[in-house]
Amino acid sequence: MVSQHPPPPPAGKRRRIAVMTSGGDSPGMNGATRAVVRMAIEKGCEAYCIYEGYEGLVQGGKFIRKMEWSDVRGWLSEGGTLIGTARCMAFYERPGRLRAAKNMILNGIDALVICGGDGSLTGADKFRHEWPGLVDELVSTGELTTEQVEPYRHLNIVGLVGSIDNDMSGTDATIGCFSALGRICEMVDYIEATASSHSRAFVIEVMGRHCGWLALMAGVATGADFVFIPEKPRADNWKEEMCTIVARHRQLGKRKTIVIVAEGAHDQHGNKISPEQIKDLLADKNGLALDTRITTLGHVQRGGTACAYDRYLSTLQGVEAVNAVLDATPTTPTPFIAINENKITRKPLVQAVEDTKEVAKAIEAQDFDRAMSLRDTEFSDYYNSYMTTTTTDLNDAMRLPSKKHMRIAIIHVGAPAGGVNAATRAAVAYCLTRGHTPLAIHNGFAGFARHHGDKPLGAVRPFDWLEVDGWASKGGSEIGMNRELPSESGLDHIAKLFELYKFDGLFIIGGFEGFHALSELRKAREQYPAFCIPMTLLPATISNNVPGTEYSIGSDTCLNELVRYCDTIKQSASASRRRVFVIETQGGRSGYIATLAGLSVGAVAVYTPEEGISIEMLAADIKHLKEVFAQDSGQSRAGRLILINEKASKVYNAKLIADMIREEARDRFESRDSIPGHVQQGGTPSPMDRTRAVRLAIKCIEHLESFEDRSADKIMTDPMSSTVIGIKGASVVFSPMKDVEENETDWANRRPKHEFWMPLKHTVDVLSGRPDVPRPESPLTGWKAKDKKRGLI
């Protein structure tokens, strides 16, 4: 029988794109939904939401709703998924998928963006492959007419991976995983305090049936004593190995013991390793006899609002998903949106799902080398980094011959940034494991220079492992940071000190001042042979403005603090329903923090130094705000925010802009200014900053090691003897300082010449509904022209 529903719109009308969340809920799913809805509307399409996942698709009716721009306002800061998710047994069977196809055609939907795990995405791909047959069956059975189905002969599907386990192959991160990791690290940090107070051991169970990402990364981020993951079970003697490491740590003076175990952990024979087993082993009176407790974190790991990374990751992936739908042809393989290092890409969904399933199969077959190989390179890097930092001074196989041992100086240069201490801890652990002598330089080059003759004043000393072991979760800089450059301290004096302490390598952790310092030392090599040693920089600054990398340690911590601050401010802004807050962000002359925070909180406008501010721009934005409030009846509880970088203008600051808005509002709405200031430097570093700090710091010391047998002449002529490590696109690379100084650095503005995030500014404007406002005259008009040509604007 033919349906009595009205026929769908004929071909040529606006495309209809639907978004759905399926499987479990992950923090960040609301950001993805918001981005898909708004980007679809921006591209001239109609946006729909499928409520309750596949169940809503099968049921149809009220579960398939057209969405308007304002319907998703305020969703970025909400946890869970506001459109719901539910398991649907009916969709597993063909009759259920037939009903789903009919409901989509009746609603005129021919494209579906699904945010879920591998099971949900596998079902989506199967649905797409069956689609032509399902459509034919609907016609042959009289459910629909040929005219009704003709515009919908092809179905486009794009996958977004929402999973706290981070268990999808082909992508470094899935939506929600870093929020869950943040929850775990927060709990472990709390537990560590009571463990240390009572000299206790804690066994902490985290989620991860087939994937140990959460357990491993939590181990790296918190400096746990031992970690159990499904992909890499310990050898048959794991009990002895764990007890040896824990006993060694206790002998060194540690008062706490933390063991993290994934729920899917097992031994090499497939036998489950439970928290109870581990507890009994640690508490055994004939062994370690530790007062031991078990904590199972459970669903607290997937709760709460999304962290900054998951907010902008889900937003950017949602935007890319809509572009992928519009680019697709009937023969395009179903893609999913991935991220590798710092680059968002499209990858074949089927291959990623197959690779993901192969990991589980390899674990079940006890082929653990294959299981690890099927994870991405980053996963293996983190595992090796963790093993290095937890078995410090215990692995004789990693120790180098004494003739290869180096004296490696570690110095912090610049302003404090989250993750600096974690990087130092990892570098010290690696040095001690290899037999090197890690030397702390206190308070930067200013502290280093405070000497009288040949008598040091305690500014340089060897690191002690017990001292640094607790630094994984500490903010700031435990050995002190200073902005002073070598030239300000006196290059001649600094060179003499290098000779006095017989440095064989220098590891700098810091921001643009650290970059500048390394540049000075490199250029001074011809005059001062003491500087002819390998030197490398790990960028660490909340501003993320160091040339040679797209990511600096500390920038993620800053974004998280700023997003939390903005969420709190929004409550005040929403209480009156008619208030705008103008918030000043840090970042120096780089607008990265303001832009990414704007993307993460849905700012109405973002002002950056790269673009500048003009009176015409402000007038257009104020006019836009007037129109927005005129149309807003106050039904939404989400406040409105404007972010301004501290150096966006020499004249227009947060207070002045807020005053201008208030004056022009004529009491129809209010405005306030707010300055979070140094709160943005953060207290406890974010898990991303901690884990990346560990991974990159170890790579830096490995790089310095590669020069241990080079003569001063060879080091002088080798451009790789002075480098900056960084993430560029999909890779971690060491870039020669000489090349970066000359080709990538805007010295006047203390930032890279080409900032990778600049096109994101346009994305912020699009998703906030900001009109095309007049842009001020700026030295950077060139990038706008180029990006317009590339279709980014």
Residues 435 and 524 in one domain: yes
Residues 675 and 586 in one domain: yes
Output the CA torsion sign for 174, 178, 183, 184. Answer: positive
**Tens of pLDDT, residues 373-417:** 888 788 889 999 999 888 887 778 889 999 999 999 999 999 999
Q: CA 550, 424, 487 angle in degrees (round to 5)? A: 75
Residues 286 and 311 in one domain: no
The gap from C-alpha 784 to its chain's centroid, in whole angstroms, comes to 27
CA–CA separation, 672 vs 690, rounded Å? 35
Domain assignment present for 379: no
Domain assignment present for 387: no
Residues 225 and 188 in one domain: yes
The gap from C-alpha 575 to its chain's centroid, in whole angstroms, comes to 31
Instruction: Of 476, 385, 481, give the one whose Cα is nearest residue 433.
Output: 385
Residue 263 labeled ligand binder: yes
Inter-residue contact 597 to 642 (CB < 8 Å): no
* CATH number for position 697: 3.40.50.450
pLDDT of 735 higher than 80:
yes
Domain assignment present for 1: no
CA–CA separation, 646 vs 624, rounded Å? 23
Q: H-helix or E-strand containing 601?
A: helix 592-601
- Return the minimum-mean-pLDDT range out of 171-185, 235-249, 559-573, 778-792: 778-792
pLDDT reported for residue 667: 85
Among 283, 301, 319, where does a domain finish?
301
pLDDT of 65 higher than 80:
yes
Burial (CB < 10 A; 0-12, 13-18, 19+), residue 283, is: middle
Residues 206 and 283 in one domain: yes
**Tens of pLDDT, residues 666-715:** 888 889 999 999 899 888 999 999 999 999 999 999 999 999 888 989 99
pLDDT of 7 higher than 80:
no
Place of tokens 């933390």: 258
Residue 9: pLDDT band by 50, 70, 90 thresholds? very low
Percent share of the chain, pLDDT over 70: 94
**Tens of pLDDT, residues 539-549:** 999 999 999 99
Residues 330 and 477 in one domain: no
CA distances from 122 to 32, 126, 277, 320 (A): 19, 6, 36, 20
Burial code (b: 16+ CB inside 10 Å, e: under 16) for 292-308 equals: bbbeebeeebbeebbbb
CA–CA separation, 205 vs 224, rounded Å? 13
Output the CA torsion sign for 498, 503, 509, 514. Answer: positive
Which range marks the domain in which residue 665 is found?
560-683+758-789
Instruction: Of 518, 514, 500, 516, give the one whose Cα is nearest residue 554.
Output: 514
Residue 303 labeled ligand binder: no
Residue 425 labeled ligand binder: no
Domain assignment present for 451: yes
**Total domains in the fold of the chain:** 4
Mean pLDDT across 336-355: 92
pLDDT reported for residue 452: 53
Q: Please, how many CA atoms are within 13 Å of residue 598, restricted to the half-sphere of its CB? A: 34
Mean pLDDT across 516-524: 98
Q: H-helix or E-strand containing 16?
A: strand 16-21
Residues 296 and 184 in one domain: yes
Residue 505 labeled ligand binder: no
* CATH number for position 236: 3.40.50.460
Domain assignment present for 367: no
- Does residue 55 sit in helix, strand or coil? helix
Residues 514 and 492 in one domain: yes
pLDDT reported for residue 557: 97
Per the DSSP assignment, residues forming a β-bridge with 294 are 203
Residues 66 and 149 in one domain: yes
Domain assignment present for 389: no
Domain assignment present for 231: yes
Residues 461 and 487 in one domain: yes
Residue 750 labeled ligand binder: yes
Residue 200 labeled ligand binder: yes
CA–CA separation, 27 vs 32, rounded Å? 10
Residues 52 and 68 in one domain: yes
Residue 45 labeled ligand binder: no
pTM of this structure: 0.92
Inter-residue contact 219 to 379 (CB < 8 Å): no
Per the DSSP assignment, residues forming a β-bridge with 670 are 579
Percent share of the chain, pLDDT over 90: 76
CA distances from 586 to 420, 516, 675, 676, 681 (A): 18, 20, 9, 9, 9
Residue 293: pLDDT band by 50, 70, 90 thresholds? very high
Active-site residue list: 165
Residue 8: pLDDT band by 50, 70, 90 thresholds? very low
Residue 11: pLDDT band by 50, 70, 90 thresholds? very low
Domain assignment present for 339: yes
pLDDT of 745 higher than 90:
yes
Residues 640 and 772 in one domain: yes
CA–CA separation, 143 vs 102, rounded Å? 8
CA–CA separation, 82 vs 101, rounded Å? 23
